[in-house]
């Protein structure tokens, strides 16, 4: 108990309504509520806190006390009507306001029950939060055990009526109906209750284009028996409820129904509320009556809702279509976003491939240039070596045939050859001529592939194995011409 009191003091900053909280503080409370109540959806946590005017304790009570569906489905938004059925009567027309809209002075309806869970809310996340939440749940179990023992012993009312215990499977749906029949008479004929959770009842009413009537029973209320035997058991009321509405009932004493009690803003029992489930996030309170057992009032309430049923159905259809359109739009936007991401990914891949190809081409070009450069250097070194060898050998005394050679750039060079020297020797001299010592600095250029031709008579000299004398080249002037690739000899 001391630890719980300490936790309540630590959580004082989180208690009490404050609709003007900074967004950072709201996010902190949303995160805390998600951790404590095990709520995965941020929107659901925000709706619950908005309902409780940002009181974390009360939001946890709604989430933990409303059954298994509270953590899985966002609570619908609604607000109480301007007045009860007695004030509005059968002439009331309107769709109501959102169920979860805050109403001044109502945020602390669960203050007593919220105190039991203060330790799990205010404590820091981790072991302390786990321990305090466990203590809270253990306390709830002890309270339920003591209450059940006292009620079974006949010591009080509350969830006991006529010796019948309203617990276990008798808190909602057909279980509640059977418990009411057992408590108030075996011949009691009641309308058909929807057998399922509150959220499932909302879905069923929306699917059938009907209004949802919520009956909240408290066996300790003074008019509960009268309401069941005179109002719910009335033939006209039964017929209207069975044919035109979806009826869901719950025992207000059950922890699993507290969330519905909080949502419908019920303060007196028995209570009959009519809801319009326009959409998942738009539940409107049409009308309600509570603490009364007047048959005429109930008939007027249901009749007024039936008179406006077409308008209500149109609202359900419109919101359903709007919801479908919004979902389709979101799906389309998601598809377009995914397509844009895919297009960006493909563009990035294509750009990466293009850059890779460009790098490979550049690398190949560099390698080819380096290979060509190496080949040129090797050829130049070979020509220089041959030029040195030719210069060292000299013309010799037998060299009596002078041959003049004109290069493509117009320069002229000459050398004496032996008449018995083959034409190949003349070609070899022409090839290394730029590197001969006597030609240094003249800027001679000899193509890599060339041919020699004589002027008079004009002929192409290709028979390299024949001698200078055989070709009658002594004293002649030859012309060196470049050979194109397709003209090059093997």
Chain centroid offset of residue 146 CA: 48
Q: Using the 8-state DSSP alphabet, how is residue 18 labeled?
A: -
**Cα–Cα distance for residue pair 204/247, rounded to 1 Å:** 10
Q: Determine the pLDDT at residue 47.
A: 80
Q: Determine the pLDDT at residue 131.
A: 61
Cβ contacts of residue 203 below 8 Å, gap of 6+? 277
Is residue 42 very low, low, confident or very high in pLDDT (cuts 50, 70, 90)? confident
Q: Determine the pLDDT at residue 299.
A: 92
**Cα–Cα distance for residue pair 487/490, rounded to 1 Å:** 9
Backbone angles phi, psi at 94, to 5 degrees: 160, 165
Q: Determine the pLDDT at residue 219.
A: 84
Alpha carbons within 13 angstroms on the beta-carbon side of residue 136 total 28
Q: Using the 8-state DSSP alphabet, how is residue 27 labeled?
A: H
Share of the chain above pLDDT 90, in %: 36
Min mean pLDDT across 149-153, 241-245, 359-363, 399-403 is at 149-153
The model's pLDDT over 327-365, given as tens digits with 9 standing for 90+, comes to 889 999 999 999 999 999 999 999 999 999 999 999 999
34-47 average pLDDT score: 81
**Cα–Cα distance for residue pair 135/3, rounded to 1 Å:** 10
Segment of 43-57, 106-120, 311-325, 449-463 carrying the highest mean pLDDT? 449-463
The model's pLDDT over 155-198, given as tens digits with 9 standing for 90+, comes to 333 343 433 334 444 477 788 888 899 888 888 899 999 999 89
The model's pLDDT over 72-102, given as tens digits with 9 standing for 90+, comes to 344 444 444 434 433 333 333 333 333 333 3
Min mean pLDDT across 168-172, 458-462, 463-467 is at 168-172
Q: Determine the pLDDT at residue 139.
A: 63
Judge whether residue 262 has pLDDT over 80: yes
Q: Determine the pLDDT at residue 440.
A: 86
Cβ contacts of residue 372 below 8 Å, gap of 6+? none
| Helix/strand/coil percent split, the chain, to 5 | 55, 15, 30
**Cα–Cα distance for residue pair 458/4, rounded to 1 Å:** 121
Q: Determine the pLDDT at residue 123.
A: 41
242: which 2 tokens? Answer: 């069975």
The model's pLDDT over 206-238, given as tens digits with 9 standing for 90+, comes to 888 889 999 999 988 889 999 999 999 999 999
Judge whether residue 152 has pLDDT over 80: no
Q: Determine the pLDDT at residue 127.
A: 58
Q: Determine the pLDDT at residue 163.
A: 35
Contact 196, 294 (CB under 8 A): no
State the burial class of residue 465 (Cβ atoms within 10 Å of its Cβ: 0-12, 13-18, 19+): exposed
- The overall average pLDDT reported for the chain is 76
Number of Cβ within 10 Å of residue 269's Cβ equals 22
């Amino acid at each position: 108990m001391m630890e719980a009191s300490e936790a309540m003091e630590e959580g004082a900053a989180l208690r009490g309504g404050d609709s003007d909280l900074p967004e950072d503080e709201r996010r902190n409370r949303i995160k805390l509520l998600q951790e404590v109540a095990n709520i995965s959806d941020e929107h659901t946590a925000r709706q619950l806190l908005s309902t409780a005017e940002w009181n974390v304790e009360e939001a946890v009570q709604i989430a933990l006390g409303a059954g298994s569906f509270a953590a899985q489905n966002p609570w619908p938004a609604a607000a109480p009507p301007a007045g009860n059925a007695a004030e509005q009567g059968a002439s009331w027309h309107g769709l109501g306001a959102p169920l979860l809209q805050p109403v001044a002075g109502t945020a602390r309806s669960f203050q007593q029950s919220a105190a039991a869970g203060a330790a799990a809310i205010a404590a820091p996340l981790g072991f302390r939060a786990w321990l305090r939440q466990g203590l809270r749940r253990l306390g709830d179990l002890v309270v339920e055990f003591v209450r059940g023992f006292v009620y079974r012993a006949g010591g009080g009312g509350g969830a006991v009526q006529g010796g019948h215990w309203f617990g276990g499977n008798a808190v909602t749906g057909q279980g509640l109906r059977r418990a009411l029949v057992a408590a108030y008479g075996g011949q009691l004929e009641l309308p058909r209750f929807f057998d399922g959770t509150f959220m499932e009842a909302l879905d069923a009413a929306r699917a059938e284009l009907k209004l949802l009537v919520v009956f909240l029973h408290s066996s300790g209320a003074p008019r509960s028996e009268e309401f069941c035997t005179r109002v719910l058991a009335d033939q006209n009321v039964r017929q209207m409820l069975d044919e035109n509405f979806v009826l869901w009932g719950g025992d207000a004493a059950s922890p699993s129904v507290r969330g519905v009690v909080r949502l419908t803003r019920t303060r007196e029992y028995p209570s009959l509320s009519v809801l319009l489930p326009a959409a998942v996030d738009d539940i409107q309170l049409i009308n309600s009556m509570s603490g009364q057992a007047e048959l005429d009032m109930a008939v007027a309430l249901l009749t007024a809702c039936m008179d406006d049923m077409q308008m209500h159905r149109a609202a359900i259809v419109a919101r359903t279509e709007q919801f479908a359109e919004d979902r389709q739009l979101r799906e389309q936007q998601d598809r377009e976003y995914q397509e844009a991401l895919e297009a960006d990914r493909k563009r990035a891949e294509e750009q990466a491939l293009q850059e890779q190809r460009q790098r490979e081409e550049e690398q190949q070009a560099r390698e080819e240039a380096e290979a060509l450069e190496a080949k040129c250097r090797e050829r130049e070194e070979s020509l220089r070596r041959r030029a040195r060898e030719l210069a060292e050998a000299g013309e010799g005394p037998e060299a009596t045939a002078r041959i003049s050679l004109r290069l493509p750039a117009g320069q002229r060079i000459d050398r004496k050859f032996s008449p018995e020297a083959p034409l190949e020797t003349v070609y070899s001299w022409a090839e290394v001529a730029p590197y001969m010592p006597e030609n240094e600095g003249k800027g001679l250029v000899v193509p890599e592939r060339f041919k020699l031709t004589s002027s008079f008579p004009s002929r192409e000299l290709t028979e390299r194995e024949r001698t200078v004398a055989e070709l009658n080249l002594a004293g002649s002037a030859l012309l060196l011409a470049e050979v194109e690739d397709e003209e090059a000899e093997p």
